[in-house]
Structure formats: C-alpha cells, structure tokens
Amino acid sequence: MRRVGDERREIIKKILRENGVVYLKDLEAQFPNLSSMTLRRDLDSLEKDGYAIKIRGGARFSGVDFTATEQIYSRRATQNLEAKRKIALKALSFIETGRSVFLDSGTTVMELAKILPDVNLSILTSGPNIAIEILKKYNPTVNLIGGIINRNNLSVSGAHALNFVKNVNIDVAFMAPVGGSAYDGFSCGNYTEYEVKRAVVKKANKVIVLMDSSKLSHSLPFTFALLKEIDVLISDAKFDEEFLKAAKNAGVEVISV
C-alpha cells in the first residue's frame, strides 16, 4: 500500500522531471498543511535516492531517473549472487592496507566493495554506486573518476575518465568483464568503457579479474585484456582443459570458488 508521503514524493519527482528544479517555497504553497521540515525531509530522501541534488532553497533534478536504471541493475545484481559473494571473499585476500586499488564497475565488484575492510586504502573506481558503498566506511579514501555514466551498468567512462586513469598509479585492479574466453580474452560491449578498462590494465601492477560463470565463453566486441595481460582470475566457472592450459601458459593464477 502506498503511503501519503510516497505519493507526495512522486509529485515532487514529477515537478523535478518537468522543470529541472523545485523550490521549498513553492512546495510550501502546494502543501500548505505540511511543515517546512517535512518537505525538507522529502528533498533529503530524494537526494539519498539519487533523484535530486539539493541546492539553496530547494533541489534540482539529478538528470537520471533511477527507477528504470535500478531495475536493470538489480536484475543483474541478483543473478548468480551466491557465486559473486564467494568470488568477492576470495578477492579480499589480495587487499593490502595502504595500497592503491582500482575497483571496476559491476555487480561482482560491488560484492567486494561491501566487504572491503575499513582500513587505510586509496580507492579509485568507475562505479558511482561502488564509491557510495565504500564511503560508508571511515578509513578508505575514494576517488571517483569523472565522465559519462552508462545507465545500464552505472559505469563512468569517456575522455575525462580516461585522462584521469592515465595520470594515477594503481597497485592492484579488480576488473569485471562482460565476457571472457581463452582466445578473445576479457571483453565488454561499450567502446568508451573499453578505453577506460584498457587504460587501467596498462597502469596496474597487478590485474585480477572477477568473473562469474555466466560470463564464460562470451565474447563482446571490445577486448580490454588478454589472458597474458592479467595475473589472477577468480571465478565459479568450470573451465575446460583447453582454457586452463592457456591460462597456465600465460602465467595466470586461476582460483575457483
């Protein structure tokens, strides 16, 4: 059952979509029976949900309708969830205090972000949601690369993101492919995201790929790393002898969960 507050916030969201901005004084006029504090809490809630950005005297539309975005992302986040959590637990052993760590966007990497220890780490990420998750902790510093946000996977890419990555140092990078195979390597379907991923692979001292079994034997248009360019592969997939042989020849440590 929808509550009155939910219906009111839907009205405010409609104003934001249509006008791009909403002012507290106008909301007070539209809802004369409510206190300013209640309306401020509505704006706080919409900002927390990523729908609005508070400004002096009101709020402006964030530019992203997270309703559709969250539906797409949530479906992917719940697929093969147990395996993703196991992969994240294994990946945790490669986290060292005081290191510079890149966290790729992706649902498996999000599981790693959730269990990341609250220690001194310098985190660089292309995932706004991952950055927000890590900000729940006290000790890690978080650098979110700037650029264009892909609505389907909440990944930031583009020229600004690429330039940022090229000018930072990365000890270890946790990468999330959309597809992976012995011959085509690890791939994604968006060219600007490929550019950022590729730059990260080149800069990182150690590259660790986190890949659940649904990605195995899939090849998308843009390969950001070949087997020989990564150091560790953590997965729940059942690799055939051909894949394992190729990984061994490439010097890749394969960890099964």
One digit per residue, the tens of pLDDT, for the chain of length 257 reads 446 678 888 888 888 877 778 888 888 988 889 999 999 999 998 888 778 888 888 888 876 555 545 555 555 555 668 999 999 999 999 999 999 999 999 889 999 999 999 999 999 999 999 999 999 999 999 999 988 887 767 889 888 999 999 999 999 999 999 889 888 899 988 888 999 999 999 999 999 999 998 888 878 889 999 999 999 999 998 988 989 999 999 999 999 99
Confidence (pTM): 0.71
User: What value does the CA radius of gyration of the chain take, rounded to a whole number of Å?
Assistant: 21
42 and 94 share one domain = no
Q: What residue numbers bound the domain in which 83 lies?
A: 72-256
Contact at 8 Å (CB) between 214 and 176?
Answer: no
What is the side-by-side strand order in the sheet with 21-23? 21-23, 58-61, 52-55
Q: Please state the domain count of the chain.
A: 2
Q: At CA 24, angle to CA 21 and CA 27, rounded to 5? A: 90
| Side chain identity, residue 28 | E
144 and 92 share one domain = yes
- Residue whose C-alpha is closest to residue 166's, from 195, 208, 134: 195
Report which secondary-structure segment, H or E, holds 180.
strand 179-181
Going from the C-alpha of 135 to that of each of 19, 121, 217, the distances in angstroms are 31, 12, 35
| Side chain identity, residue 224 | F
Q: Residue 140 maps to which CATH number?
A: 3.40.50.1360
Among 63, 95, 114, the domain boundary falls at: 63
123 and 149 share one domain = yes
- Spatial separation of the C-alpha atoms in residues 78 and 135, rounded to whole Å: 22
Q: What are phi and psi of 218, to 5 degrees?
A: -100, 135
Q: What are phi and psi of 91, to 5 degrees?
A: -65, -30
Q: Residue 30 maps to which CATH number?
A: 1.10.10.10
- Residue whose C-alpha is closest to residue 130's, from 180, 96, 64, 176: 176
